[in-house]
Amino acid sequence: MTSARPSPTDAPVIVGALRTAIGTAGMAFRDVVAADLAAPVLAELAAPFDGLLPHDVVLGNCMGPGGDVARVSSLAAGLPVEVPALTVDRQCGSGLAALDVGSALVRARPGLVLAGGVESASTAPWRFWPPADGEDPVRYERAPFAPQSVGDPDMGLAADLLAEECGIPRERQDAYAARSHARASATTSAGGFTAEIVPVDGVKADERVRDGLTVERLARLRPTFRPDGTVTAGNACGINDGAAAVALVDATTAASLDLPGLRVLATATAGVDPRRPGLGPVPAVLAALSRAGVTLADLDVVEVNEAFAGQVLACCDALGLDDARVCEEGGALALGHPWGASGAVLAVRLFSRMVRADAGELGLAAIAVGGGQGVAMVVQRCR
């Protein structure tokens, strides 16, 4: 640990952080559209700040109905029509990108901003390319992450190839996944997620977590993306629904509220080869740490989105980060990965561990993005 800590007096502060439970697509939230997932979280976040009206709402979203999901969510939450809202799309990094935008907004204009993300894979509309030459319309599952001329692999295939190139064997991936489930199961049993979850349709617990999921059970699963690959349904994230958001204020407002929170010391976004998007967190983390003036050794809490065990392990190896330090209460392999919300879920987890549980002074959130990008944020507990 370093003896000197950065403490910029003008840094934005997270003073509240909440999320829904994370549902498996087609199950608990199968009929809940994106705006109706996000609205209860926004309403609950805004409630303690009676008299302090948010001057903006920013939400990340990837596969929603289009339009401005943040605006629909804001109005559904009962926020006044005078509160504007913005939807951002940095694919899987959208939720953390929204916090970056929100931090800039409160720097520019003092006050309160609600920022986060939402995804409803269950209710995502079907999309089609326009018909050509008399052919039937062709449905597409996702928008392009990058031009085909550059390389645009699906995230799963890219993660499988990355694991092979980085020498990460199947056994290590399965062991990591089993540990994520064990940690999340223990945290659930201990009530560690309760304070951060806003019930929606009576759902109060994450659906995907599996108690007793062992390496032996995971070893029985077949490779998903290549016959001789190492990525399986067990060591990869699920397809999920959920929402998460934080309340961001400027430093002066934070001082007047006299609430514990997380000071946003630095954020960073970086680009990498679109053919290996899973490595995106590496340069983003290094940049964010440099801007914050801290090192990996200084961090007390590390939350990296667990899209694929092999991908997270590749990032840890590249950074020289002990993978046992990542998501110590379970990550997305167990909880789920609601794309546009996942970056914000990481911030909620930092808040729960560092503020609610008083478990550290410096924290990091990081996430990989399809198309070859990474987003990272360094925070410091204050008060």
Q: Say which DSSP state 27 is in.
A: S
* Helix or strand (DSSP H, E) at 268: strand 261-271
What domains can you pick out in the chain, each with its CATH number?
Answer: 13-124+235-382 (3.40.47.10)
Amino acid, single-letter form, for residue 229: G
Backbone angles phi, psi at 154, to 5 degrees: -65, 150
Is 92 among the catalytic positions?
yes
Is 337 among the catalytic positions?
yes
What does the pLDDT read at residue 133? 83
How far apart, in whole angstroms, are the C-alpha atoms of residue 25 and residue 11? 37
What does the pLDDT read at residue 138? 87
Given 237, 316, 337, 382, which residue is catalytic? 337
116-154 burial: b if 16+ Cβ within 10 Å, else e: bbbbbbbbbeeeeeeeeeeeeeeeeeeeebbeeeebbbe
Q: Say which DSSP state 22 is in.
A: P
Strands (E), 102-250: 112-120, 127-129, 138-140, 240-249
Strand partners, 14: 248, 262
Q: Residue-wise pLDDT tens for the chain (383 aa)?
A: 333 455 677 899 999 999 999 999 999 999 999 999 999 999 999 999 988 999 999 999 999 998 999 999 999 999 999 999 999 999 999 999 999 999 999 999 999 999 999 999 999 999 998 888 888 888 888 889 999 999 999 999 999 999 999 999 999 999 999 999 999 999 999 999 999 999 999 999 999 999 999 999 999 999 999 999 999 999 999 999 999 999 999 999 999 999 999 999 999 999 999 999 999 999 999 999 999 999 999 999 999 999 999 999 999 999 999 999 999 999 999 999 999 999 999 999 999 999 999 999 999 999 999 999 999 999 999 98
Given 92, 237, 315, 316, which residue is catalytic? 92
Q: Which residue has the tokens 């617990």?
A: 205
What does the pLDDT read at residue 143? 85
What does the pLDDT read at residue 3? 38
- Angstrom CA distances, 162 to 75, 170, 188, stand at 42, 12, 31
